[in-house]
Amino acid sequence: MRVETTRGFDKQYAKLQPKVKQQFQERLHIFTSTPFDQRLRNHALMGRYKGYRSIDVNGDVRALYTVKEGSFVLFSVIGTHSQLY
C-alpha cells in the first residue's frame, strides 16, 4: 500500500503535540498492514466529507483519507473531532 499526504495534512500534522504525532505513526503502521483493524475504527464519512474515510488516532483525533487507484491512499486532514466536524 502506498500512502501519501497532502500539503494541508502536513501543515496540520506539524502543529500536533509530539505524543499525538507518535500515536499517528503507530496507527499508520497498523493501517498499512491491516486497514480495517478494529482499533482504527475505520469508517466512511457522509456530508461534508463524503468520499473520505476516517481512522482514530486517539480518543479525540481523527485522520481522514481517500483511496485512489487501488492501493494508493491519500491522507488529507488530521485534527480533533470538534475541529473536523
Q: Where are the domains of the chain?
A: 2-84
What pLDDT digit, counting tens, does each position of 32-47 carry? 999 999 999 999 999 9
Q: Residue 1: what pLDDT?
A: 86
What pLDDT digit, counting tens, does each position of 7-37 carry? 999 999 999 999 999 999 999 999 999 999 9
Asked whether the whole model's pTM tops 0.85, one would answer yes
Q: Is the pLDDT score of 69 beyond 90?
A: no
**Chain-centre distance for alpha carbon 43:** 11
Per-residue pLDDT averaged across 77-83, rounded?
Answer: 94
Write the CATH number of the domain with boundaries 2-84.
3.30.2310.20
- For residue 77, list its beta bridge partners: 64
